[in-house]
Chain A
Amino acid sequence: MKLLSSCKYLCLAACLTFICPGCKKFLEVDPPKTQLVSTEVFKTDEGANAAVLGIYSAMSSGSTALSNGALTVYQGLAADELVGFSSDKETLQFYNNKLLTNNSIVTANWNKTYQILLQTNICIEGMTASTGLSAAVKKRLIAETRVCRALQNFYLINLWGAVPLVTTSDWNQNKQLLRTPVDAVYALITQDLEEAAANLSSSYPDEERLHPNKYAALALLARVYLYRGMWDKAEAAANQVIVSGLYTPLPALSEVFLKNNTEAIWQLQPINSQYQDTYEGSVFIPAYPGANPQYYLTDHILEAFEQNDQRKTDWINSTVFQNHTYYYPYKYKIGYQATDQPEYYTVLRAAETYLIRAEARAQQNNIAGATEDLSVVRERAGLNPITLPGKEQMLDAISHERQVEFFAEWGHRWFDLIRTGKADAVLAGVKSNWSSTAKLLPVPQSNINFNNQLTQNPGY
């Protein structure tokens, strides 16, 4: 009897066993404990802020990014500023202006820039859709993100020409994108910066200058207008920054790259694993006294400095290696020794804004105004003001001033040579294999491999 009843239980158990898969609850899993679903992130001010900080962090940390030293080093090599000490073949490709389409540095810079753009698009979409954010934070963070997006897009088109323009985080939509004309990319850059300038306040959210404020948007906008030859707008934007009074007077040369110095309009906190501060500092300053420099300055740039230019003594240092003196950039003065971070990457600084306004004024034949702006920068370097008779001489002087003010800094020299049309003339003189097509970097082959429709730049 008992056996029979046992059998019943068994059958019941068996039945239950097989019914069970009908209920799908078992398959519910804990959400991943180390990550958050994206909609969850943008529900709170803290989450949105952390996502925007993620953009800055990406710009300054990890593998090579344009904004954490790559522009300085690689465009410095490509222009007439730097020589690499080692015979690393990929670095040499920059120096020789003979980049291969699989150059891993080019690829990494391109990839990282688009990763940052993805972050900006996720943030803009997430914050725009969110209803949980406080209005002020939402407005500020969206505007900051737009400045970041504009900066990435600005460097993309200036390095590669027409590039695919991403405006969404949807991979399915982005994966087939083709090149967007430079004008269309500039349109978005201008729109981003104008809206950001309108929505950002003139103060920084904290005591540091790590979040772009209204003037960061304007300073970048001024640069965009300058590059586009829209002199009046460039002057107007630069003017707003200068008259704000926040960034003047220019501090001493030795302070320009310290964190939170008065000239800094927007800085990035260096994020590195190895007790180094900025990448520039760690890569230019020899590892120990007597060590070889990894990169050193060309005679070409050394000769460009005028007599008594204090930038040559304050921003350049030298080392003797095997009886040969090498000069290296010394704008960032901290190599590996830092126990804290006295220096920050300086994205935008007021000297540039002065020189933008000077150039815009000169282009509009306001030579006196240009001279005034030029003098601000020259005076800080211990040089006398110069008076020049005409527009062309003035433009040449500004161009020269930019060369010595911004040497080995964010690729300014490279971009200036190209935008002013002097690249072929200047670089053909110093580089043995210069070809005009080297002004644009190759689109990384890996990208073309994914999409046959994506065209390569000429010459590659």
Chain B
Amino acid sequence: MRKHVLIIARGIIVCCLLLAMFSACTPQSSGNTDPLHDPGTQSAEKTEILLWTNQRADLVFREEKRAAFNNANPDLNVKMEVFTEDYATTLELAVASGQAPDIFQVLNNARYYLDRNMLQPLDKYVTDDLKQRYGNLFMIDEVNTIDGKLYTLAERGITFRLIYNKDIFEAVGLPGPPKTTEQMYDYAKQITEWGRKDGIYGYAMQLKSTASVGDRVIDQTARRNGFFSYDFINGKFNFSVMKPILSVYRKMYEEGIMFPGIEGLEIDPLRTQFAAGKIGMYINGNWETAIYAENGQFPTKCNWGAVTIPGIGTENPSGKTNINNAGKSWGISISSEVPDLAWRYIEYLLEDDYLAEYQEKGYGTIVVPSAAKIAKFPDMIGAEDFAMKDTLDMIWPVSPETAGLKFEGKNAYDTYAAIILGAVDIDAALADLTSRYNAGLNAGEKDGTVKRVVIPNFDPTK
């Protein structure tokens, strides 16, 4: 009899433990960010709105403004979550499991989200005032609009420049920042020879994220020189045009001019080293203004500046780099239960004052015409340099590989990385890329999943 009691007692203890664990495992409110809390539940006082972003660079500013908004709107409680690593997969998993946030940062072109049924159209919130403020940046087809339905709005644009350390250039005795890729190679070589014993190198790139380098460095250099891997005039891919750019970097890597370990280097470690004065040059976007400032992520004492991306074979390239993210900002997820309230916060995020302050604190360049008119440029290093100029920046049309293209094998960015690292033969790899991407384009066009973009008189030099 006693044994039975013991058995039952033990069983109960185990069950209790299990139950405790089960309840511990299921959603709990703890801490100040709580992704498990059902978005949009009407609790007694506040309605919750959950926002996801992948940007860390402007986090401090956005947090401040979020708190201000919450204070001014006691009936709402906006929460913010940051996912820098694996943002895309995290978002996809969240949507698949019905846990998508209310608002999230829109990074890809609209078709991507439409295919996955992730966004709600915003047309019902559009007012005439809004349309006027935005002017011709209001609806950009394929970027934030598909079939006449609007999914997100323009906010800021990321301009890209060549960033260089003025102190190092002076110490080495270089005449100034490079204007051509040959000069870039040459200057980098001199800097590395001069500074190697102190751990200073001429050029660095965050090759661990091949997509980051491929898009920001390689593609932008191409655009600045008036061409791109997708031929808009004829509507097909041609990657062999990228050869001159890739050759320069490949040579740099081969000859040991590059910062050691670029294959494992991410952008933040790169910035750390730049801030510590160990890197001569690199190419990146206008986040750096805020990042290297005194209260930024990596404050630096170095004198740095930014100039336009070098030309290939000419000191005055005539193309224009793309303004990244232009035309996209925030979207309301299709599963949000409080879209109207979510819109209220998005409106707040896109107010002229908010945007102007964003720019004046050096976090980025605003493209919304009404805000750009009143926003000043802060007196921070880099702000002027990164400012949008008609002669240097434009919004390129959408090319198929960012609008749902499916292809076989390694993607272009991984291939670029392989080329730079000397793992594959340049011509063979680029030719292979061209044929694979075009095959995917043809197949996609046939079953209607991809649009072949053709702009017969496209001229990126105008």
Q: Do A and B bind each other?
A: no
Residue positions of B touching A, CB distance < 8 A = none
